[in-house]
Amino acid sequence: MKSLNPPFLRRDQELDELKILQTAISDGVLVVDDQLTPIFFNSKLRLLFPMSDMGPNLNETLSFIHNLEVVNGFREVMETGKAITLHAQKFHFSDGGRIYLSVSLSPLKVGSNARGVIGIFHDVTELKTAEQMRIDFVANVSHELRTPLTSIQGYVETLLEDAESGRKVETSYLKVVQRNTQRLLTLIDDLLDLSTLESNPAALHKEKLDTHAISERVMVNLSHKSQLKKQHISVNSIEGPQVFADPRRLEQVLTNLLDNAIKFTPNEGKIKIDWFENLESPGVFLKISDTGPGITAKHHARLFERFFRVDKARSRDMGGTGLGLAIVKHIMQSHQGTVEVESTPGEGTTFICAFPHPKNIKFLGDRL
C-alpha cells in the first residue's frame, strides 16, 4: 500500500520535527566537519555565546569559543576518534561576560572513519558559582573565628602566667577576653540564624504590624549607641502603613539596618526611618537613610554577600560579623519582598525594603 503523503511532504515534516527537537534540547549543540568548520548549531548555543563572538551565521572557525582547551579537544577527538568530556570549562567573551560549561565531545563516524565532531555544551555556571560560594564561606568563617580565638588564647596564656607567678591579674585582659568571646557568640548566632532562614524560609508567623510602633521599639533598643555619638534619629509618618510580616524578623531587619547606620554615620549625624505606600507599585516600603560616608557603586552588588565588607578592618573594629545585610536579604526574600541600596560617596546611604501590600495578601494572611 502506497503512502498517502508524497516524499517531499514527508521530508518537510521530518525537518519540522527535527527543528522542534533541536529547540527542545536544553544544552548547546555544535557540529563541525573534519576540518573543524562549524556546520550546525542549535538556538541554545547562540544563547550561551554572544552574537558579537559568533557572528550572524556562526564563524567559519572555532575562534568564537575563546577556550583553547576546548578547541584542542575538538582536534583531539577528530584525530583519535575517541569521545572526551571537559568539565567546568571557563569561557570569557568579548563583551566581558563569563560562564562555565561542561563540554562533551564525540566523533561523528561513517563506518570506522571520523567525519566530524559533535559537541554538547552544558551550562554549569550556577553550580560552579555555588561551589565557589561554599569555598569562600568556609574560608571566611575560618578567618572570622580564628581572629577572636587567637586573641583569647593569647590573653588567657598571659593571665595564667600572671596567676602562676603571683602577679596581679589585669582586669583589662579579662575585658579583652570577654569582648572577643561575645564576638564569637554573636558570629555563631548570626550563622545559625542565616542557616535557619535558608533551610526553612517559610517558617514565619506573619501578622499585620504597626510600622511606627515597631520602629520606635527598635530605636529605643539602640538608643544607647546613637546617644554616644549624639546622632539624631527620626521616624517619619507617625500614621505609617501597616505591614504584613513576622514581627521578630521585621524587628531584625530594622535592627540590622539601623545598627549599620549608627556605626557608619559620624557624630551628630542624622538617620531617618521612613515607611510609605506606593500606589504605582503596590507595596509597603521601608527606607532607612543616613548621612554617613556613602558607598561607591562598584560595591553595591556585593553588599548583601556573606562576610563582604567595604572597609574590613573598620567593620571588625566596630564589632560587625559581616552577616547582617545577608540576613536582611534572606528575611526580605522569605517575605516575598526585596531590599536595595542607594548610595553616593559623601552623600550618605539609603536602604529600601519592599514588602507586599497587606491588601494583596489578605486571603493568605487570614489562612495563616
pLDDT single digits (tens) 71-94: 999 999 998 889 999 998 888 777
Q: What is the pLDDT of residue 363?
A: 40
Which domains does the chain show, CATH number per domain? Answer: 7-123 (3.30.450.20), 126-199 (1.10.287.130), 203-367 (3.30.565.10)
pLDDT at 362 (0 to 100) = 47
Contacts of 299 (CB under 8 A, 6+ apart): 308, 310
* Helix or strand (DSSP H, E) at 100: strand 98-110
What per-residue confidence (pLDDT) applies to 265?
93
Measured between alpha carbons, how far is 27 from 118 in angstroms, rounded to an integer?
12
Give the three-state DSSP class for 4.
coil
Q: What is the pLDDT of residues 190-216, one digit of tens each?
A: 888 888 887 776 678 889 999 989 999
Looking at the predicted structure, is the pLDDT value of residue 1 above 50? Answer: no
Partners of 286 in beta bridges: 275, 353
Residues 298, 195, 296, CA angle at the centre, nearest 5°? 10
pLDDT at 121: 93
Q: What is the mean pLDDT of the chain?
A: 82
Alpha-carbon Rg for the chain, nearest whole angstrom, is 30
Q: What is the mean pLDDT of residues 25-51?
A: 84
* Cβ neighbours of 122 (radius 10 Å): 18
Q: Is pLDDT at 346 greater than 70 in this prediction?
A: yes
User: Rounded mean pLDDT of 318-330?
Assistant: 83
